[in-house]
Chains A and B, each alone.
Chain A
Amino acid sequence: MRKKRTAYLLLLPLMGMTALALLACGSVLTQSLGVVPAFGLTEPTLDYYREALADPAFFSALGVSLRVALLSALAAAVLGTALCAALVRVGPGPMGLLIRLPILVPHAVTALFAILLLSQTGLLARWAWALGVISEPGEFPQLLFTPGYGGTILAYLWKEIPFVAYFTLALMAGVSCTLGEAAENLGASPLRAFLTVTLPLSLPAISQAFLIIFLFAFGGYELPLLLGATLPKALPVYAHLAYMHPDLRQRPAAMALYGLILLLSAAMATLYGLLTRHLLRRVEGGQ
């Protein structure tokens, strides 16, 4: 029998890291409650949260982050699933390697891609000019640095669609070459076999990929910083601005914003887990 003590010894480094991560969350939450002994603040209070929630700028920042995260994650889940299905049907080939490229490219570089491609003097605008659709840069729809955050969403899509496909590929390929094949054998057309058997059974992976990219985009900093509007800002950019305030006594206010990001992420992840649990149990129950 392998000894329990050995297992705990092996886990010591992980426990250290976990303690540090919990300490990190704890520190943010403590300071957000106004407890910063170094500044002589020791009385816990919810005032900083009240202040944050009373500021309309917070809600517009929250709106931006929710919008960007939801739209990009939804579109990426749908298109990524389609990409994955095409890869399964046709066979991965070189494209199976190529979809890993956007996953490896860092967000800052993705932002640069968006600038080179989508700005009003970017390549797409030039193509539109060459095709005679527009006659000057100003006529090309403004996607970058606008309150609509279209460029940010498109940049996220460039990274996330391949991510969803890559994340789902192994499961979907496995389902397709056994149960999908059986469905076609029993009289289902390829499309119906996909919709009735392969897709529902691939949902656990797709749903997990959705949650990962949604939370990432909700808490992401680089893309909205580099591609977003001055106002309204995305929530993490808004929080960072408060964090950089020269007056250190403003720290608890910034921490309240980080606390809100943390709590909202946790709440949304929990809610999502509850919503999808029934669906996924039905799919996973038989396996």
Chain B
Amino acid sequence: MKLEIEHLSVALEGRDILQNLSLQAEAGELLALLGPSGCGKTTLLKTVAGILAPQCGRIRLGREDITHLPPHRRGVVILFQDIRLFPHMTAAENVAFPLRMRGVGRRARLEQAAKLLDRVRLPGYGARRVGSLSGGERQRVALARALAAEPRLLLLDEPFSALDENLREDMRELVLSLHREFRTTTVLVTHDRGEALGMSDRVALLFHGEIEQCDTPEAVYLRPATRRAADYFGGCALLDGEVRAGIFRGGPVALPVSLPEGRYALCLRERMWRPAENGPYALRVERVRFRGPETAVTLAAADGTLFQKTFPGSVPFQEGDVLRFDLDVGDPVFFPQEECL
């Protein structure tokens, strides 16, 4: 079901956490909400779920305005970061809990719970006590429990952060396959850039309580809307410079552009530098750091500007050598300079 958040503002203990935030998730979509810790991701989830009340703004699910509904009537389920299984119930009773709240009889709900436990690849775990489950198993029980509620909207709050790295990949695949199967509109909160890019249909970037950009993973990564967004994803260097008479000049770089005059920053990715025998750019090797599968090299232009570039394997040159490069910026991304002030 489609989620629409309009002009939402939330304050906690007198501090503004979210300001005038608008965001949409299409029906059946998996939207990643990405941002550094403390940017208001969890606050946004809790507000959508009705645990926190907004100062102003509206939240709509499908055609219904749910801004003032109590949490238990929203049909919005959070998979909490700290899992929150009920310790006095078995795994099956936990999964059956939302059905029990809806008045489903004991036999029927336990049958349904067993089916859902199969779905999350925990067959026969129904009678197990929560205390006897491992971290990954608990996470999967919680996932089954959230699905049992048949949510109109599923909110995943950093669901993989408590898991070991090897379990994390399994869980991601499980969540993706369940999403393909149930097509529940899902918001995945994470601070892991790779996870957000790899799992979602669209990525919403949240900084300091405001949405910075919301687009497909490719667009968000390759065409960051703001300098902050570019900085957050990394993998690019921002080269400050100036456009005058249709030419951008910054450091050693000069490019013909069609921009009004003014100060700009050019987003330079390391793959744009191509080693070439007779390339126009002569860069001196400042530092070589061998890292096993790759070697990180710092290059300096004549004016002292530094660039990073990684080469596969080891490199045949040393610190002090001068190499020649071509620069292929393709469709370049510029940020007006005022913005970063």
A185-B77, A187-B101, A190-B70 known; A178 vs B88 contact (CB < 8 Å): no
B84, chain A: closest CB distance, angstroms: 4
Select which of B78, B84, B88, B101 is within 8 A of A283 by beta carbon: B88
Determine if B149 and A187 form an interchain contact, defined as CB atoms under 8 angstroms apart. Answer: yes
Taking a contact as CB atoms under 8 Å apart, the answer to whether A193 and B131 are in contact is: no
In the complex, what distance in Å separates the CA atom of A284 from the CA atom of B131? 9
In this assembly, does A46 line the interface, its C-beta being within 8 Å of a C-beta of chain B?
no
CB of B87 within 8 A of CB of A187, answer no
Taking the closest CB of chain A, its distance from the CB of B305, in whole angstroms, is 51
Whole-angstrom CA separation of A78 from B32 in the bound complex: 46
Which positions 238-287 of chain A face chain B at CB distance < 8 Å? 282-287
Per the bound structure, the CA–CA distance linking A181 and B73 in Å amounts to 13
**What is the CA–CA distance of A49 and B71 in the complex, to the nearest angstrom?**
62
A279–chain B nearest beta-carbon distance, Å:
10
Q: Are A183 and B129 in contact (CB under 8 A)?
A: no
The residue of chain A having its C-beta at the shortest distance from the C-beta of B84 within the complex is A182
Q: How far, in whole Å, are A185 and B101 apart by their CA atoms in the complex?
A: 11
Contact between A283 and B70, CB atoms less than 8 A apart = no
Chain B residues contacting A181 (CB-CB under 8 Å) are 51, 71, 84
A189 within 8 A of B: yes
Question: Are B49 and A185 within 8 A (Cβ)?
Answer: yes
Residues of A within 8 A of B284 (CB): none
Residues of B within 8 A of A196 (CB): 97, 100
- Are A285 and B131 neighbours in the complex by a CB distance under 8 Å? yes
Inter-chain contacts of B145 with A (CB < 8 A): 186
A181-B51, A187-B101 given; A193·B87 CB < 8 A? no
A188, closest chain B residue (CB): B101
A283 touches B49 (CB 8 A): no
Does more than half of chain B's interface fall in helix, strand or loop, or is it mixed? Answer: mixed
Does the CB pair B131–A286 fall under 8 Å?
Answer: yes
Using Cβ atoms and an 8 Å threshold, which residues of chain A touch B84?
Answer: 178-179, 181-182
Q: Looking at the complex, which one of B72, B87, B100 makes contact with A184 (CB distance below 8 Å)? A: B72
Least CB separation from A182: chain B residue: B84
| B206 contacts the other chain (CB 8 A) | no
A192 within 8 Å of B (CB atoms): yes
Beta-carbon contacts of B140-162 to A below 8 Å, as 1s and 0s? 00000110010000000000000
Chain A residue numbers with a CB within 8 Å of B70 are 184, 189-190
**Is B107 located at the chain interface by the 8 A CB criterion?**
no
- Given the interface pairs A181-B51, A185-B49, the reply to whether A200 lies near B88 with Cβ below 8 Å is yes
**Residues in chain B near residue A285, CB distance under 8 A:** 87-88, 129, 131
Interface range on chain A (Cβ under 8 Å from partner): 20 to 34
Contact of A237 with B by CB under 8 A: no
Q: Which residues in B have their C-beta under 8 angstroms from that of A178? A: 80, 82, 84
| CB under 8 Å from chain A, chain B span 250-270 | none
Q: Tell me if A201 and B87 are in contact (CB < 8 A).
A: yes
Q: Which A162-179 residues have a C-beta within 8 angstroms of B?
A: 178-179
Q: How many residues of B contact A (CB 8 A)?
A: 29
- For A186, give its contact among B51, B77, B82, B88 (CB under 8 Å): B77
B98 CB-CB contact with A under 8 Å: yes
- Whether the pair B80, A286 counts as a contact (CB closer than 8 A) is no
In the bound assembly, the distance between CA atoms of A62 and B210 in angstroms comes to 69
Contacts of A284 in B (CB 8 A): 87
- The CA-CA distance from A57 to B89 in the complex, in Å, is 49
Measured CA separation A143–B76 after assembly (Å): 54
The answer, among A188, A201, A283, A286, for a CB contact under 8 Å with B72, is A188
Bound: A196/B75 CA distance, A: 19
Bound CA–CA A185/B86 (angstroms): 13
The answer, yes or no, to whether B301 is at the interface (CB within 8 Å) is: no
The chain B residue with its CB closest to the CB of A282 is B88
Contact B101 A186 (CB under 8 A): yes
Known contacts A179-B84, A182-B80; is-contact A287 B72 (Cβ 8 Å)? no
Does A184 lie within 8 Å of B71, measured CB to CB? Answer: yes
Q: Contacts A178-B84, A286-B85, A286-B88 hold; do A186 and B130 have CB atoms under 8 A apart?
A: no
B98 / chain A contacts, CB cutoff of 8 Å:
186-187
- What 1/0 mask marks residues of chain B from 206 to 235 whose CB sits below 8 Å from any chain A CB? 000000000000000000000000000000
When the two chains form their complex, are residues B88 and A185 in contact, meaning their CB atoms are under 8 A apart?
Answer: no
Interface check A29, CB cutoff 8 A: no
Q: Does B63 contact A (CB under 8 A)?
A: no
> CA of A183 to CA of B101 in the docked complex: distance in angstroms?
9
* A201 partner, pick from B49, B51, B88, B146, beta carbons under 8 A: B88
* A197 in the interface (beta carbon within 8 A): yes
Cβ contacts A to B, 21 pairs, < 8 Å: A178-B82, A182-B78, A184-B70, A185-B49, A185-B71, A186-B72, A186-B98, A187-B72, A187-B75, A187-B102, A188-B72, A189-B70, A189-B101, A190-B72, A196-B97, A201-B88, A284-B87, A286-B130, A286-B131, A287-B87, A287-B131
- Contacts A186-B77, A201-B86, A286-B87 known; 14 new A-B pairs at CB < 8 A: A182-B86, A183-B86, A185-B71, A185-B80, A186-B101, A186-B145, A187-B101, A188-B101, A189-B72, A201-B88, A283-B88, A284-B87, A286-B88, A286-B130
Interface residues of A (CB under 8 A from B): 178-179, 181-190, 192-193, 196-197, 200-201, 282-287
Q: What 3 pairs between A and B have smallest CB-CB spacing?
A: A286-B87, A286-B131, A182-B84
